[in-house]
Structure 1
Amino acid sequence: MKKQRLVVRTIILIVLVGALAYTLYTNFFTDKQLVGIGDQAPNFVLTDLNGNQVEFDNYRGKGVFLNFWGTWCKPCEKEMPYIENQYQVYKDLGVGVLAIDVGEPELSVKNFVERKGMTFPVAIDEKLEVLEAYGVNPLPTTFLVDKDGKIVDIITGQLTEELIKSHMERIKP
């Protein structure tokens, strides 16, 4: 009986050490950012909060302010009113905004969007596939995409309204 417990404990220890080694390797020795400046922005299809399919390639011809965020993220919360203000200015000038929440429940996201008065498209990346495809870390992260679908810039961290305005100017067709 004692020998069986030792074998089981040894196997569990080996599995835990293997998982720890894999986690450390992927966090420190692999490049998280899968796309970079000058690359073509990967296409994806998500469902927005109104139940409509949103395909990123349908934004071609417009500059896109692609923002990854979460309702729990304080810097994300602070920049949302600024993004909304600039969206109202630039939406008729060929700049689109698409905000992608990272896997939270739809009810939480809808409540946040209503509370903040956000009118630009918001989709939820339920399986975190888009987050992974773009190599997003940390939140908020914003990708500036030009009318041809090329990534112009990648900005991490909270943006001020002045910075959002200048970034939208950069991607305006």
Structure 2
Amino acid sequence: MVKKRRLLIRTVILVILLAAVGYTLYANFTKDEGQKVAIGEKAPDFELVDLNGETHRLSDYEGQGVFLNFWGTYCKPCEKEMPYMEEQYQQFKDKGVQVLAVNVGESEFAVKKFAERHQLTFPIVIDSENDVQSAYGINPLPITFLIDKDGTVIKSFTGSLTSEKVEQFMKEIQP
């Protein structure tokens, strides 16, 4: 009697564990699939405020190429690519290509200190509510989206960028 009861309890626990593992796998493989940005589609519009208090809407940049970069101050690959983005921003900002760096919800203080330390002049906005990250399906960092003059996503790149890659990407979205 005791052995049967023990076997029943073990079986129930095993079934519950298998169900939990199955659900976790299912949830991870299907999460945010409807929200991810697809190449060739219109980039989801958003409105965020930069470190100077100015509002930036993605749709305001139509007619220009947009180098849309998602990053965090704690992200070493993000930090490594920032000087390259700044250098190419200076080269392309008067040629119809804009950089818009979206910080992933850190404090304004931390982001300002980071921008000052790296002497960044391109617009940096903070997605404090994580709405833009969700709309773009951001994970992991850094990730960059190239958006053409019509507002269409033409490419995305996950990982740290080199100076050459940033320049190549900016040429691709130059109107």
- TM-score category, normalised to shorter length: 0.7 to 0.9
On the 8 A contact 1:33/1:136 being kept in 2, the answer is no
Aligned partner letter, 1:128: N
Whether 2:57 is the aligned partner of 1:55: answer yes
The equivalent of 2:73 in structure 1 is 71
1:80 to 58, 79, 82: 82
Q: State the 1:81 CA deviation.
A: 0.2
The equivalent of 1:93 in structure 2 is 95
Superposition pairs for residues 151-162 of structure 1, below 5 Å?
151-162=153-164
TM-score w.r.t. the length of structure 1 is 0.86
The equivalent of 2:28 in structure 1 is 27
Provide, for residues 79-121 of structure 1, a one-character-per-residue CA deviation record: whole Å limited to 9, x for no partner. Answer: 0000000000000000000000000011000000000000000
TM-score w.r.t. the length of structure 2 is 0.85
Superposition pairs for residues 104-143 of structure 1, below 5 Å?
104-143=106-145
The equivalent of 1:39 in structure 2 is 41
Q: State the 1:29 CA deviation.
A: 2.8
Q: How many residues are treated as equivalent by the alignment?
A: 159
The structure whose Rg is larger is 2
The 2-side partners of 1:100 and 1:158 are apart by 15
5+ long unaligned stretches in structure 2: 1-16
Aligned partner letter, 1:25: Y
Q: State the 1:28 CA deviation.
A: 2.2
5+ long unaligned stretches in structure 1: 1-16
**What percent of counterpart residues are identical?**
56
On the 8 A contact 1:32/1:136 being kept in 2, the answer is no
Find the residue that maps to 1:100 and give its secondary structure: strand
Provide, for residues 44-64 of structure 1, a one-character-per-residue CA deviation record: whole Å limited to 9, x for no partner. Answer: 000111111111100000000
Aligned partner letter, 1:96: Q
The 1-side partners of 2:34 and 2:79 are apart by 24
Q: State the 1:34 CA deviation.
A: 1.4
Q: Is the alpha carbon distance of 1:97 and 1:79 closer, same or farther for their aligned partners in structure 2, counting shifts above 3 Å?
A: same
